[in-house]
Amino acid sequence: MISKSTIDKVFDVARLEEVIGDFVHLKRSGSNFKGLSPFTDESTPSFMVSPVKQIWKDFSSGKGGNVVAFLMEHEHFTYPEAIRYLAKKYQIEIEETEVSTEEKVQANERESMYLVSEFAQQYFQDILIRHEKGKAIGLSYFKERGFTEDTIKKFKLGYSLDEWEAFTKEAIKNGYKLDYLERTGLTIVKENRQFDRFKGRVMFPIHSMSGRVLGFGGRILLTDKKAAKYMNSPESEIYHKSKVLYGIYHAKQSIAKEDNCYLVEGYTDVIQLHQRGIENVVASSGTALTSEQIRLINRLTKNITVLFDGDAAGLRASLRGIDLILEQGMNVKVCSFPQGEDPDSFARKNAYEDLVLYLEGNSRDFISFKASLLMEDSGNDPIRKADTIRDMVQSISKIPDRIQREVYVQECARIMQISEDVLFNTLAQLGKKNLDEANKTFKKDQKAFEVVRNEKTIEKVDRLQVLEYALIKHLLLYGSAKCEFDDVILKTDDSGELQEEHVVQNLKVYEKIFLELQQDEIELNNVVFKKLYHKVMAKFQQELDFELSDFMRELEPELAAEVSTIAMEEERQSLHDWSRKDIFIKDKMIVIKDSIPEIILNMRGFLIDEIIKGLMSKTEHKKEGNQEILEEIINYLQLKKILSKRLNRVI
């Protein structure tokens, strides 16, 4: 178990904006930061980070919380894993008791798979660096590729011995179950026999954005026509190749800093460029580029430069990936290397300065690159040229931004020497075709079930829940603030009539709320708000200084998410930038002394209505002896009239 002092130290040192900045490209927005949601696919920022409150909120998915909650949501960490990650990032020594065998057994399946993968990474690297065969075969290969020892250690490169069960036996010997070795794909089990999947291969660990080992890529060194040159871990609960980019863990900070990401094809391309000083580079690991992979980059930057080998066939095959990038609203440039060169070989032959100059000088806009490439194929054939133009327009149609589409049409018209009107008409036809196809799909889906038309119903607002939300919001945001509350106390005169007496109360917000609810013995109806109310009140009574970020540490995820929603409500206004439209939001502190009594009065009014309804239903069931109930109803109606007067309402 991690000691409380370590957890406190981690929370004190960890900066929310720094941690989230490793995963999401954040831009300053007043005193806060905003960015694209890392949980949903969106083009307009709805993700907010408050450095002051140390809270984040994703308004598109509803998720929110503190720094640990983000890591738990985004990286699927357990609470202890998130603390360990932060401790490592901020170089904090962890004080903890040794994990017992029983606790190892209790670890969930997903975590067990991560532990097995972590062990495999360490094992393969140890074999590479310390074992005779590892040094002679694996290490020699990497050094031939020009990788330094620092680079090898940085990327955790390794070697799997050319033996059937070397890794599997060592893993089982260290207490790792065969079931998890098989489920991660590290061991293949067939008819009571097991053997190492990556036998005789150099190993490339594949890390998540936070640095967790998800799977491996292995390259065979011996010439074997039956064996694949490269082999990846199979799909598992922790490894989905379509959602992973090789090198993203080492590249994320540089991508955000440079506001550009170089996209290559292979492991060695990434490592070689990284070693040369170009660190904002990732690879699709030999798989076709997917939307999920592009969205990973989109969190860090809107700009992608695709680096192609000099091989012409490879260039054409990769053009499909560009259309996919355009669909995500990204800005795409393309850079190809001389014939016979790839990013790995070119980086090996050139110094950092020359490499940077080449990339900057040869990165072209995708439209001019694709046009020149396709025009080479079409030559002077008018039919093939027409197909090329159609292909270009097809790519432009993928771009979601209308202005950008128009600019690209103009550029395409210039390059292809064709009128803009023709291209715009073709673009419109493509748009209509796509719309028709979408409508057909929609109508087909509709036929699968009968639509019953009912009269329009308006969803009923839960008035009490709205009031309780407002009360909790004031308690959380302004609980320790001191105010002069102008209040009215109801007293009964000699004739039994209710009379008002005006008083001024100098109280803290939490004291005012507590006294008012106690006076009428009001319990909050909403379960989440009720839990929060009791926890906040307990916190105020224990400590003089209430810090929202400290309070959130102690909450379970459901409550923490609700608190982040409340705490970040005002920050949400900055997403709309109302001030630019001459709409100004009132400072809540100015009206707080009036808003709290108003909330309380409305709650009382609601509860009185409920009591009157209950009493009225009793009279319906009783034919006689209703006088006492009717008198009680009259008394409550008199009280309701006074409350309404104070709220400036007419009954």
Same domain, 370 and 296: yes
For 606, the token pair is 């609601």
The reply to whether 234 and 263 lie within a common domain is: no
CA 283 to chain centre: 21
Calpha distance 276→265 (Å, rounded): 17
What's the number of CA atoms in the CB half-sphere (13 Å) around residue 393?
22
For residue 94, being part of any structural domain is answered with: no
Q: Are residues 149 and 285 located together in one domain of the fold?
A: no
CB atoms within 10 A of CB 185: 20
Q: Classify the C-alpha dihedral 9-14-16-22 as positive or negative.
A: negative
Average pLDDT, stretch 334-362? 93
Burial class of residue 472 in the structure, from the number of CB atoms within 10 Å of its CB (0-12 exposed, 13-18 middle, 19+ buried): buried
Q: Are residues 496 and 520 in the same domain?
A: yes
Span 318-343, pLDDT tens digits: 677 788 888 888 899 999 898 889 99
Q: What's the predicted TM-score (pTM) here?
A: 0.69
Same domain, 219 and 280: no
Predicted confidence (pLDDT) per residue in 170-181, tens digit: 999 999 999 999
Compute CA distances 361 → 333, 343, 354, 357, whole Å.
12, 15, 10, 6
What is the identity of the amino acid at 630? Answer: L
* Residue 220: alpha-carbon gap to chain centroid: 36
What per-residue confidence (pLDDT) applies to 184?
96
User: Which of 210, 239, 268 is the endpoint of a domain?
Assistant: 239
For residue 421, give the amino acid letter.
D
Q: What is the DSSP string of 295-333?
A: HHHHTT-SEEEEEE-S-HHHHHHHHHHHHHHHHTT-EEE
Q: Please name the residues in contact with 15: beta carbons below 8 A apart, sequence gap of 6 or more.
A: 51
65 & 189 share domain: no
Of residues 26 and 435, more confidently modeled:
26
Judgement on whether residues 47 and 79 belong to the same structural domain of the protein = yes
**CATH number for position 81:** 3.90.580.10
**CATH code, domain with 185:** 3.90.980.10
Residue 622 lies in a domain: yes
Task: Assess contact for 474 and 509: CB atoms under 8 A.
Answer: yes
Q: At which residue do the structure tokens 């799977």 appear?
A: 215
- Give the number of other Cβ atoms within 10 Å of residue 430's Cβ: 16
Q: Is the pLDDT of residue 77 over 70?
A: yes
Structure confidence at residue 639 as a pLDDT band (50, 70, 90): confident
Our CA angle for 88, 91, 92, nearest 5°, is: 90
Find the CATH number of the domain harbouring 372.
Answer: 3.40.1360.10
Beta strands in 444-600 (DSSP E): 482-492, 498-508
Residue 621 token pair: 């069931």
Q: Which residue has the tokens 């046009």?
A: 371
Among the residue ranges 73-82, 198-207, 377-386, the one predicted with the least confidence is 377-386
Q: Is residue 560 in a domain?
A: yes
Instruction: Specify whether 632 is located in the same domain as 491.
Output: yes
The answer to whether residues 192 and 126 belong to one domain is yes
Q: Are residues 418 and 511 in the same domain?
A: no
Give how far Cα 507 sits from Cα of 468, 479, 482, Å: 20, 10, 6
Q: Determine the pLDDT at residue 215.
A: 96
Task: Please tell me the distance from the alpha carbon of residue 91 to that of residue 631, in angstroms, as a whole number.
Answer: 71
For residue 194, give both structure tokens: 């097991």
DSSP reduced 3-state for 159: strand
Is there a domain that residue 550 lies in? Answer: yes
pLDDT tens-digit series, residues 420-457: 888 888 888 877 665 555 455 545 544 443 443 444 44
- Cβ neighbours of residue 134 under 8 Å, at least 6 residues apart? 126, 127, 128, 158, 159, 161
Average pLDDT of the segment spanning 13-18: 92
Q: E strands along 324-405, which residues?
A: 331-336, 364-365
In a domain, 450, yes or no: no
Domain count for the chain, please give it: 4
Task: Quote the CA–CA distance of 99 and 5 in Å, as a whole number.
Answer: 18
Flag whether 361 is in a domain. yes
Cα–Cα nearest to 307, from 328, 326, 280, 329: 280
168 vs 345: CA distance, rounded Å? 35
User: Do 239 and 214 meet the contact criterion of CB atoms below 8 Å apart?
Assistant: yes
Mean pLDDT, the chain, integer: 82
Q: Is the pLDDT of residue 570 over 80?
A: no
Q: Is 70 within the bounds of a domain? A: yes
| Residues of the domain holding 356 | 248-435
Clarify whether residues 213 and 253 are in a common domain.
no
- Six token digits for residue 553: 């540490």
The domain boundary residue, chosen from 183, 214, 239: 239
Q: Based on the domain organization, do 365 and 309 belong to the same domain?
A: yes
Boundary (domain end) residue, out of 399, 415, 435: 435
User: Does residue 441 fall inside a structural domain?
Assistant: no
Please name the amino acid found at residue 515: L
